[in-house]
Structure 1
Amino acid sequence: MLVALSTAVPLLLAGALIVWIAARSASGALTRNSWVGIRTSATLRGDEEWRIGHAAAAVPMSAGGIGLIAAAAAAVFVGEEGAVWAAVIGCAWVVVCLLIAAVVAGRAVDRMDADHPAP
């Protein structure tokens, strides 16, 4: 049970943090900072690009966080060996979701730039 709990707690905390960041991104409350966010050349061009990119990426970010929370729950119920597999699958899931979020953010910024070309 110790392995399951020591696996589940970090997964739960990381998942909750990602969901919180996604919610702040969706609302536009996540300003550029040195700690969290999608750091691509597109989102780092300016404050508006940061906001647009993060708002667009909120859904795949949320999916990644929810996947980690689900992996935490699974880790508690599937036994010690299963807890390790739940962690591996949860971590792979969040990596894929965050990569998708980065692509979505970049495309949203590119669309914004295409709609509002520089003078």
Structure 2
Amino acid sequence: MRSELISVATGSRETVHDITAECAEFVRAQGEDGLLHVFVPHATAGVALLELGSGSDDDLIAALRDLLPADDRWRHAHGSRGHGRSHVMPALVPPYATIPVLGGRMALGTWQSVALVDLNVDNTQRQVRLSFLSH
């Protein structure tokens, strides 16, 4: 298995950050069929496969705000207001995704992209582990 860690600057606001290009570059370098596993080694971030740029990324943030309000209800209460919701979010948007790779290209659907989802405004830098398992 080959693996690489990439850094992603998420800034200090809730974000859906496109990492498709980084994933595509990594699997292109492998040049063969297999599986790409994308993993975020953080307790407050997730990985999603969705259409980006058409409003779906904003809709996802809005839905997560509705489901997980940034208020004082959370028992996990350190950090910024509502920080505990960031620790619940990976149960809804898991911290991983596995994508088939054919001939060095991700077998994504026409409109699918790979995105890092981060509601945690306290961390501005994230790591993402890309791992390739050849057939």
| Length-normalised TM-score, structure 2 | 0.29
Indicate the structure (1 or 2) with the bigger Cα radius of gyration.
Answer: 1
More relative contact order in 1 or in 2 (CA 8 Å, sep 6+)? 2
- TM-score, normalization by structure 1: 0.32
